[in-house]
Amino acid sequence: MYWTRTLRARTAVLCLAPLLSVTGCGAVSSASTVSSASTASSATQGPPAATEARAFPAQVLAISIDALNPRALTKLGRDDVPHLWRLLDEGAGTLNARSELEMTLTLPNHTGMVTGRRITASKGGHGVTWNDDRAGTTVQRAAGHPVSSVFTVVHEAGGSTALFSTKTKFSLFERSWPVGVDRSLIKEEQDAALVKAARADLVQRDRAFTFLHLGIADQTGHASGFMSPAYLRAVETADTLVGKMLAAIDNHPDLSDVVVVLTADHGGAGESHSDPKKLANYRVPFVVWGPGVDHGNLYAMNASYTDPGTSRPGLSGPQPIRNGDLANLALDLLGLGPVPGSRFDVRQQLAVAAD
Ligand SMILES: [Zn+2]
């Protein structure tokens, strides 16, 4: 499990109200306890205090930098992408995680990140195999059955969620989980404006889970070639925007409990990222940073995962860290169980702190 050092600051603050009222500071009040508390409050103290607000051990900010080939990080280095390297230098990470096995395309991989599922529907996957904005589609229709997500689990546990994306095709998520996604903001190919909004939301709201998708590197890669000079400049821009989120975290005491999980949907080299059998496409970074997270290589910290070298492991046998681990790691960080029906890290074993 994740926590060896649990941050309790936020929990402590939120528990002041319950100490003055009837309920205790349990993570989840039972229905009868809530009922009696409400009755007592309404009878003697006016409106009930916000005692039912769920306190989580962290806030999770998931960031996906679309098409972030880890080679861009090593090529640019700490001088040119300081914020991404800060996450690596202070957090637990690897530059050798894997995308979904079946496809290295944007929407299938992001759906994997939020559901913890593989792609192929006939094998329990989410079934999202398209990569454009298709009105009326849902993950549930793609899979042929109900599919839960990190948004659903967090919302049902009393937490608030938000999605910020630079691609309209991400509207799939609010259609699929209209209750679970509390806020969905899409600004097509406007990374800077999106980050401004996401940053304001992070500061002003108390989201348990926020997903931020930055598309500028992918967009530039398609226009000018992945790993081209223009693409590398776009990665620098993405780094600057990540830095704005980190500055908000640094500067606001209320955000001292934010844990960042940063990964990518796929990499890319040359003209494309569509061949799932190419190393440049299936290799992605995966970095976790924040309170309670130790610095280190995720493979060194997790004996149950195997560094795949340059290989592309299938879904049986020793497993690499995958971008699809994001959902259940995020839930673990929040003290919640896994996404029902998920596959990646379903036992929530991925550790980000040294024992
Ligand atoms: Zn993509």
Position 53 scores a pLDDT of: 56
Number of H helices, E strands in the chain: 15, 8
Give the start-to-end residue ranges of the domains of the chain.
9-44, 59-333
**Helices 70-80 and 82-90: angle between axes, nearest 10 degrees:** 100
298 Cα–ligand 1 center, Å:
23
267 Cα–ligand 1 center, Å:
8
Residue 160's region, left for phi above 0, alpha for psi from -120 to 50, else beta, is beta
99 Cα–ligand 1 center, Å:
11
* Predicted confidence (pLDDT) at residue 237 exceeds the cutoff of 50: yes
220 Cα–ligand 1 center, Å:
11
Position 323 scores a pLDDT of: 98
Pairing of strands 258-263, 283-289: antiparallel
Near ion ligand 1, which residues have CB within 5 Å? Answer: 66-67, 106, 218, 265
Q: Mean per-residue pLDDT for 298-326?
A: 98
15 Cα–ligand 1 center, Å:
41
Which tens digit of pLDDT belongs to each residue from 94-139?
A: 999 999 999 999 999 999 999 999 999 999 999 999 999 999 999 9
Which tens digit of pLDDT belongs to each residue from 325-342?
A: 999 999 999 999 999 999
* Predicted confidence (pLDDT) at residue 50 exceeds the cutoff of 50: no
Determine the 3-state secondary structure of 272 from DSSP.
strand
106 Cα–ligand 1 center, Å:
4
* Predicted confidence (pLDDT) at residue 206 exceeds the cutoff of 90: yes
Which tens digit of pLDDT belongs to each residue from 1-26?
A: 444 434 433 333 333 333 333 333 33
Position 219 scores a pLDDT of: 98
241 Cα–ligand 1 center, Å:
18
Q: How far from 183 is each of 124, 211, 213, 320, 330, CA to CA, in Å?
A: 28, 10, 14, 32, 18
What's the whole-model pTM score?
Answer: 0.87
- pLDDT category at 47 given cuts 50, 70, 90 is very low
Segment (H or E) for 249: helix 229-251
- Class at the top of the CATH hierarchy for domain 59-333: alpha beta
